[in-house]
Amino acid sequence: MNRIPVAILGATGTVGQRFVQLLADHPWFEVKALAASDRSIGKPYAEACHWLLPSPMPTAVRDLLVQPIAPGIEARLVFSALPSEIAQTAEPAFAQAGYVVCSNTSVHRLDADVPLLIPEVNAEHTALIETQRRQRGWSGWIVTSANCTTTQLALALKPLHDTFGLRRVFVVSMQAISGAGYPGVPSFDIVDNLIPFINGEEEKVEQESRKLLGVCRQNRIEDASFVVSAQCNRVPVREGHTECLALEFERRATPQQVIDALESFRPSAQVAALPSTPAQPIIVRREPDRPQPILDRDTGNGMAVVVGRVRPCPLFDVRLVLLGHNTIRGAAGGAIHNAELLVAQGWLRP
Amino acid sequence: MNRIPVAILGATGTVGQRFVQLLADHPWFEVKALAASDRSIGKPYAEACHWLLPSPMPTAVRDLLVQPIAPGIEARLVFSALPSEIAQTAEPAFAQAGYVVCSNTSVHRLDADVPLLIPEVNAEHTALIETQRRQRGWSGWIVTSANCTTTQLALALKPLHDTFGLRRVFVVSMQAISGAGYPGVPSFDIVDNLIPFINGEEEKVEQESRKLLGVCRQNRIEDASFVVSAQCNRVPVREGHTECLALEFERRATPQQVIDALESFRPSAQVAALPSTPAQPIIVRREPDRPQPILDRDTGNGMAVVVGRVRPCPLFDVRLVLLGHNTIRGAAGGAIHNAELLVAQGWLRP
Amino acid sequence: MNRIPVAILGATGTVGQRFVQLLADHPWFEVKALAASDRSIGKPYAEACHWLLPSPMPTAVRDLLVQPIAPGIEARLVFSALPSEIAQTAEPAFAQAGYVVCSNTSVHRLDADVPLLIPEVNAEHTALIETQRRQRGWSGWIVTSANCTTTQLALALKPLHDTFGLRRVFVVSMQAISGAGYPGVPSFDIVDNLIPFINGEEEKVEQESRKLLGVCRQNRIEDASFVVSAQCNRVPVREGHTECLALEFERRATPQQVIDALESFRPSAQVAALPSTPAQPIIVRREPDRPQPILDRDTGNGMAVVVGRVRPCPLFDVRLVLLGHNTIRGAAGGAIHNAELLVAQGWLRP
Amino acid sequence: MNRIPVAILGATGTVGQRFVQLLADHPWFEVKALAASDRSIGKPYAEACHWLLPSPMPTAVRDLLVQPIAPGIEARLVFSALPSEIAQTAEPAFAQAGYVVCSNTSVHRLDADVPLLIPEVNAEHTALIETQRRQRGWSGWIVTSANCTTTQLALALKPLHDTFGLRRVFVVSMQAISGAGYPGVPSFDIVDNLIPFINGEEEKVEQESRKLLGVCRQNRIEDASFVVSAQCNRVPVREGHTECLALEFERRATPQQVIDALESFRPSAQVAALPSTPAQPIIVRREPDRPQPILDRDTGNGMAVVVGRVRPCPLFDVRLVLLGHNTIRGAAGGAIHNAELLVAQGWLRP
């Protein structure tokens, strides 16, 4: 099929670079435009962008001239990695102008008429798009991907909530430095150290996870009723967020039942066929000391969640550890995945 | 007063070195002998020991010849940093031979007649010593200090349990590499990585904390009745264990009440007067991003526990973060502290 | 063509694992046997080996039973990642028994009749094989790959020596922890630290580089006459050795001439056609702050050397920085590359 | 004696904080004022400053209100940790207004009439002060301390130059992240990485070292005639710069002679009596693997330079490794040391 022309908003930042990298050979999308803040405008991307990824900058984008963050860009779909204060007005402007906006920014995630999507988890939440367009009078629309820590959490919780009914979730995260962007965390703050605080992160995990696992009824989302308590830490790891969970269910579950539910989880055929959907979204490891960031973060090209240490909890039903790639599944890869879903569902045609 | 002659068992390891360092200028104890495994015996300590601490090896011990780990050593008190398999038989042998054994090893911690001590927490548990000596027919005895993660946890829980009654405790630790000894954690396992597993650690935290906060009745300890769920991780930090807690009490408590209980906690006058007792055993920080290992681990010469982020929990009463120095308060410093308590209580006379 | 059956000696160590990984889909070689020390023998590789690489263990080797390190193995070619003390006798035993031994071990590198090979640098040194077989009465033979630091150094020096004549070389290396094997460098020695010493490394760099760039005359190697002064440091980097060089030539050379010589360097057509030869063995970067391990170590699938900061030297002719992947080009990849050369030159037939 | 009232310019940065810490209990100086850039002015220091050092902020400065960087401050001596662009005009303004300026900034270091000082190395260079005041018509004056890497280098070179006559010096540095200030090096640039480039650093090392070891004749400095080639790298170490040196002398010297010259080096009696002068400015270690940042950076309270691995060089006379504390001896401690020298020489009276 003809590839859909897409643009990346905030293309020079770390998440923007991941978009560029992951879209380089995408079968459905073709990067036609890159937009960034004032001081980059008019420069070739290769010059405007301090490239931070190990793989080289894709040749196709090197000479694209960076454009302003405003409608008029030659694209039908825009991926947004904008800072919240810019996204606040820019994303609606694009949606109003007819663009489809797949955003990785937090600012519109909890809006009642904006889908917060993970294809394997809640593909049916795209039903909100109609409401959004009608209410706001937009020809385009916005869909959002979740916070990085929340994304991998919600993906692992999905089959467990479906099977056993979640009641209470404790989560303590150990998050990679890439999650803070660039320059992000000063090295003097994190070498031989950790920081037990990430501004706003715990609230996002606690709220977004309930919307993600909520039910779409009459074009609105009823949040799931379980309660999450999140504690978020920054650790000296480049990529990959690790989370220690304790879970209480409506219906008692043994570790083996939890493992079975996680391993047998498969997305719908439509979602399974998306280019970015990993063969198995949730991998369960049996070794006592997995998952580990360095060994597991690239599983499924960074789109799978790896679970380990599923064991009983003296207080709740089970404890487990999960890990995901925060700048792939948890950021750029997740937003691209959502765009693929829009195509598969027919919202967006090649 | 005359200083009591002491020996260090396992003197060449990392905890052994901390004993050497912390005892260098101790007002009550004088290191007279160092014992270690076979290949070190007969060598001067300066030659037998691969010194790993930033401060230089104390002059007084450099020329001490390393002795075998067996009674006959010129000392009345021995500090044990032995591996479990050696401590299993060596510590009882010393106790039988009349030595006072202050052990940092796990093997006897849960024995019913062996005190597991933190002076500020359960000084009265030394009452077990009489039972131990009578039952075992020993002229000496063994007292133990707790696992590093447990020590700092129990110290912070003490005033909260006394004031509000603990019911349920979730704890996720992020532990320093020094806790694994030397050579310990291979660098290839931990640079740009973390390991969500420490063998046997979670069980120790869950069991020892209940004995530490238990009540001594008729010469036996009744474990505290609260339940702990622990998840332990190794992170690339040199020194200082950080713990994220969620606490449920018998009697509801607000964050401010918890802060008040922690900050107003003072040990008994007898314990406060010990050389190693910090001016304030528990420090509460108000900054949103504290405690941090690099900034807080040396508080109170590594003997204080630093608490931060005391805040409500959507599931339990409060959440907080605590941090302690794992090889000082959590190991050598803790065992020395216990020995000081024995002197103050009259069990051991100068 | 039919793939040549090969075995890996020392298959469970870090370099052994790299051999396994790099040979998994090799067009010319097929791993038929894995050998390791006593305690692994008889176990399936998946069980015997603590796999340390981010990519999963190749399926084809998981069930291979680990064999003893002794002739009798079903293979014609063996790759050796053995410790020196074992290689000392095991490698000759295999050669005598008719196997072709491609060794990454240091023990035979400087033997007068053993080729020390880098295909792009000194492919003609394989002429020593005949001498070796005749003198030792072996039906097989040994060829060796150089020390990791030396390999990338010699590759970059090759075109410069050919063009300008090397006279004096200063090199200071900053070497990755993977170079020390596993468990290798204790984390307590390297987190927030570096170690300005690697046992035996400087001598290897100084000697091997002269043999590698030496001339083969009448079946013996005349060492190149330049002199190298090497200083080797261990730094907290997982993979990738970085080297700061200062070079003095017989014939004066400007930085631009050096860049031209490096960039225009191409191996012979025979070597260029080997499966592991990178498209361009030496890449020169113009950015002021390259090469960097994290960004450049995987260039050319870890087989290219990346050079940067080519600039004048106030004392010698030029200074530059070079970087290579120490466990790919500098170890397993280099030895495989040598085996490919043997096939291309007809020493070994499919 | 009465303590001299001093101020710190640039008090909220990392070097400014070191000044605050090191001056907290200084016998000769008392911090009376703290100055910083606009957004801090008028705030109490405890509020304006994001304190980054492990030891707590000294009580005496917590409530000092941050002042503008301009004369009028209640102090006779100002320590400057200002960025170059501000120091360019601010330091002369203070000197003109009669203040003694001890600067750690690079901007005036190479001015012909400004002393670049290390007390043990070139105390007699203070003779430039008279010239400076006369030529510029200032009632105060500026003295400067050298770049961090240069300071520890020059200190170690001093006795060698005096004894053997330096001809050529190769130096490759591995520098701590603290040297880049705060926020300084982004963690994403340095975790599992190193950067072989520090902007402007190599030039500073090459030029400043020759001025430091130059001779003061007729109120001007004749630079030393040796030549330095410097290559500077940033490594993931918090504090402590390590340097690998190769040295060529006018008069041949063996490693043992070099060790003797380093170890027997003592400053003048006047300099030895300064509060910050370490008992022995240059320590030589015999272990094969020293100096190391974590073990040696605090030697002599961070004011000593530790040398190790003194050995022959195949190209020059000797090679060695040296290490110093870059933010103590190499920054704030060095500038304070210079101020102490001014007092001892009578330039500044209590």
Which residues of chain A make contact with C325, given a CB cutoff of 8 A? Answer: none
Comparing CB atoms, the residue among C54, C294, C297 nearest residue A294 is C54
**Cα-based distances in Å from A220 to A109, A141, A269, C264:** 14, 16, 25, 64
Instruction: Collect all residues with Cβ–Cβ distance below 8 Å to A203 and sequence separation of at least 6.
Output: none
Rg (CA), chain C: 19
Same domain, yes or no, for D217 and D296?
yes
The 10s digit of each residue's pLDDT in C293-343 is 999 999 999 999 999 999 999 999 999 999 999 999 999 999 999 999 999
Distance between CA atoms of residues D78 and D83, nearest Å: 15
Comparing CB atoms, the residue among C170, C195, C199 nearest residue D246 is C170
Question: What stretches in chain A show pLDDT beneath 50?
Answer: none
Comparing CB atoms, the residue among B54, B297, B298 nearest residue D294 is B54
The 10s digit of each residue's pLDDT in B222-266 is 999 999 999 999 999 999 999 999 999 999 999 999 999 999 999
Helix (DSSP H) and strand (DSSP E) numbers for chain A: 12, 13
Chain A: residue nearest C191 by CA? A192
Which percentage of chain D shows pLDDT scores above 90?
97
How buried is residue A97: exposed, middle or buried, by Cβ count under 10 Å (0-12/13-18/19+)?
middle
Same domain, yes or no, for A91 and A163?
no
The 10s digit of each residue's pLDDT in D93-151 is 999 999 999 999 999 999 999 999 999 999 999 999 999 999 999 999 999 999 999 99
Comparing CB atoms, the residue among B228, B237, B319 nearest residue A192 is B237
Distance between CA atoms of residues B54 and D103, nearest Å: 30
The 10s digit of each residue's pLDDT in B69-127 is 999 999 999 999 999 999 999 999 999 999 999 999 999 999 999 999 999 999 999 99
The answer to whether D183 contacts A178, with C-beta atoms less than 8 Å apart, is no
Tell me if C350 is assigned to some domain: no
Is D331:D276 a contact under the CB 8 Å cutoff? no
DSSP string, B109-171: TT-TTS-B--HHHHGGGGGHHHHHHHHHT-SSEEEE---HHHHHHHHHHHHHHHHH-EEEEEE
Helix (DSSP H) and strand (DSSP E) numbers for chain D: 12, 13
Q: Of all helices (H) and strands (E), which one includes residue C164?
A: helix C148-164
Same domain, yes or no, for C308 and C174?
yes
Tell me if B116 is assigned to some domain: yes
Cα of C332 to nearest chain D Cα, Å: 21
Q: What are phi and psi of D248, to 5 degrees?
A: -115, 130
Which residues of chain C make contact with D206, given a CB cutoff of 8 A? Answer: 314
Tell me if D251 is assigned to some domain: yes
Tell me if D26 is assigned to some domain: yes
3-state SS of A38-102? Answer: HHHCCCEHHHHCCCCCCCCCCHHHHCCECECCCCCCCCCEEEECCCHHHHHHHHHHHHHCCCEEE
Which residues are paired to C321 by β-bridges?
Answer: C244, C308
Distance between CA atoms of residues D64 and D11, nearest Å: 11
> Could you tell me which of A158, A256, A262 has the C-alpha nearest to residue A209?
A158
Same domain, yes or no, for D61 and D189?
no
Same domain, yes or no, for B170 and B61?
no
Distance between CA atoms of residues B349 and B335, nearest Å: 17
Chain B: list its partners (3+ Cβ pairs within 8 Å). A, C, D
Q: Of all helices (H) and strands (E), which one includes residue C9?
A: strand C4-9
> Could you tell me which of B74, B64, B119 has the C-alpha nearest to residue B94?
B74
Location of structure tokens 């430095």: A177
Q: Catalytic: which of D49, D108, D125, D148?
A: D148
The whole-number pLDDT of residue B2 equals 86
Same domain, yes or no, for A140 and A153?
no
The whole-number pLDDT of residue B219 equals 86
Largest CA distance in chain A: 60
Interface test with C, best of D199, D237, D244 (most C CBs within 10 A): D244
Tokens describing residue D175:
């520098």
Nearest 5 degrees, angle CA C162-CA C163-CA C165? 70
Same domain, yes or no, for A87 and A218?
no
Cα A87 from chain centroid (whole Å): 16
Distance between CA atoms of residues A143 and A148, nearest Å: 16
Computed from CA positions of residues C171, C175, C181, C185, in that sequence, does the dihedral angle turn out positive or negative? positive
Distance between CA atoms of residues A20 and D253, nearest Å: 58
Tell me if B349 is assigned to some domain: no
**Cα-based distances in Å from C242 to D152, D237, D334:** 24, 16, 31
Q: Of all helices (H) and strands (E), which one includes residue D142?
A: strand D141-144
Which residues of chain B make contact with C182, given a CB cutoff of 8 A? Answer: 186, 188
Which residues of chain A make contact with B238, given a CB cutoff of 8 A? Answer: 192
Q: In this model, does residue B170 exceed pLDDT 70?
A: yes
Distance between CA atoms of residues A261 and A273, nearest Å: 21
Helix ranges, chain A (H): 14-23, 45-48, 59-62, 84-96, 119-122, 128-136, 148-164, 201-212, 255-263, 269-272, 293-296, 333-344
Distance between CA atoms of residues A224 and D216, nearest Å: 79
**Cα-based distances in Å from D26 to D20, D30, D49, D142, D336:** 10, 7, 21, 21, 10
Q: Of all helices (H) and strands (E), which one includes residue B201?
A: helix B201-212
Assembly ipTM: 0.96
Interface test with A, best of B227, B315, B321 (most A CBs within 10 A): B315
Q: Catalytic: which of C49, C102, C148, C232?
A: C148
Is A95:A113 a contact under the CB 8 Å cutoff? no
Distance between CA atoms of residues C59 and C45, nearest Å: 10
Comparing CB atoms, the residue among C174, C229, C309 nearest residue D194 is C174
- In the annotation, is D241 catalytic? yes
**What is the DSSP pairing of strand A220-222 with strand A215-217?**
antiparallel
- In the annotation, is C148 catalytic? yes
Name every residue in D having a CB less than 8 A away from some CB of A: 14, 52, 177-178, 182-192, 236-238
The whole-number pLDDT of residue A214 equals 98
Distance between CA atoms of residues C160 and C249, nearest Å: 8
Name every residue in C having a CB less than 8 A away from some CB of B: 14, 52, 177-178, 182-192, 236-238
Is C13:C51 a contact under the CB 8 Å cutoff? no
Cα of B331 to nearest chain D Cα, Å: 21
Tell me if C233 is assigned to some domain: yes
Comparing CB atoms, the residue among B183, B236, B237 nearest residue C186 is B183
Same domain, yes or no, for D210 and D288?
yes
Interface test with C, best of A294, A297, A325 (most C CBs within 10 A): A294
Question: What stretches in chain D show pLDDT beneath 70?
Answer: 1
Chain D: residue nearest C189 by CA? D294
The 10s digit of each residue's pLDDT in C11-67 is 999 999 999 999 999 999 999 999 998 899 999 999 999 999 988 999 999 999 999
Tell me if C73 is assigned to some domain: yes
Distance between CA atoms of residues D207 and D224, nearest Å: 10
Q: Which amino acid is at A136?
A: R
DSSP string, A103-120: E--STTTT-TTS-B--HH
Query: What's the CATH number where A227 sits?
Result: 3.30.360.10
Query: How much is the average pLDDT of C276-294?
Result: 97
Q: Give all strands of the β-sheet with A29-35 in edge-to-edge order.
A: A29-35, A4-9, A77-80, A100-103, A141-144
Q: Catalytic: which of C125, C161, C241, C325?
A: C241
The 10s digit of each residue's pLDDT in C83-126 is 999 999 999 999 999 999 999 999 999 999 999 999 999 999 99
* DSSP 8-state symbol, D44: B
Distance between CA atoms of residues B67 and D348, nearest Å: 57
Is C321:D231 a contact under the CB 8 Å cutoff? yes
The answer to whether C194 contacts D309, with C-beta atoms less than 8 Å apart, is no
Task: Note the residue count of chain B.
Answer: 350
Same domain, yes or no, for D108 and D209?
no
Q: Of all helices (H) and strands (E), which one includes residue A308?
A: strand A305-312
Q: Characterize C148-178 residue by residue with b for buried, 16 or more Cβ atoms within 10 angstroms of its Cβ, and e for exposed.
A: bbbbbbbbbbbbbbebbebbbbbbbbbbbbb
Same domain, yes or no, for D20 and D121?
yes
Q: Of all helices (H) and strands (E), which one includes residue C80?
A: strand C77-80
Please list the helix, strand and coil fractions of chain C in percent, rounded to the nearest 5, in that order: 35, 25, 40
Tell me if A133 is assigned to some domain: yes
* pLDDT band (50, 70, 90) for residue C350: confident
* DSSP 8-state symbol, B301: G
The answer to whether C294 contacts A191, with C-beta atoms less than 8 Å apart, is no
Location of structure tokens 């040199």: B238
Same domain, yes or no, for C131 and C154?
no
Interface test with C, best of B188, B189, B193 (most C CBs within 10 A): B188
Is D229:D166 a contact under the CB 8 Å cutoff? no
Q: Catalytic: which of A49, A102, A108, A148?
A: A148
Chain D: residue nearest B295 by CA? D54
Instruction: Collect all residues with Cβ–Cβ distance below 8 Å to A10 and sequence separation of at least 6.
Output: A16, A35, A36, A37, A69, A80, A81, A82, A83, A86
Same domain, yes or no, for A51 and A134?
yes
The 10s digit of each residue's pLDDT in C138-169 is 999 999 999 999 999 999 999 999 999 999 99
Computed from CA positions of residues A330, A332, A337, A343, in that sequence, does the dihedral angle turn out positive or negative? positive
Name every residue in B having a CB less than 8 A away from some CB of D: 52, 54-55, 191-192, 238, 294-295, 297-298
Q: In this model, does residue C171 exceed pLDDT 90?
A: yes
Distance between CA atoms of residues C37 and A112, nearest Å: 63
The whole-number pLDDT of residue D196 equals 98
Is B53:B88 a contact under the CB 8 Å cutoff? no
Structural domain of C142 = 4-146+332-344
Q: Catalytic: which of B125, B161, B241, B325?
A: B241
**What is the DSSP pairing of strand C227-234 with strand C305-312?**
unpaired
Long-range contacts of C257-266 (CB under 8 A, 24+ apart): C257/C163, C257/C164, C258/C160, C258/C164, C258/C310, C258/C317, C258/C318, C258/C320, C259/C284, C259/C310, C261/C159, C261/C160, C261/C162, C261/C163, C261/C164, C262/C156, C262/C159, C262/C160, C262/C307, C262/C310, C264/C159, C265/C120, C265/C158, C265/C159
Helix (DSSP H) and strand (DSSP E) numbers for chain B: 12, 13
Distance between CA atoms of residues C255 and A31, nearest Å: 38
The whole-number pLDDT of residue C1 equals 63
The answer to whether C315 contacts D229, with C-beta atoms less than 8 Å apart, is yes
Is A54:C240 a contact under the CB 8 Å cutoff? no
The answer to whether D298 contacts B191, with C-beta atoms less than 8 Å apart, is no
Chain D: residue nearest C203 by CA? D314
> In chain D, how many domains are there?
2
Query: What's the CATH number where B104 sits?
Result: 3.40.50.720
> Could you tell me which of A281, A166, A164 has the C-alpha nearest to residue A223?
A166
What's the predicted TM-score (pTM) here?
Answer: 0.97
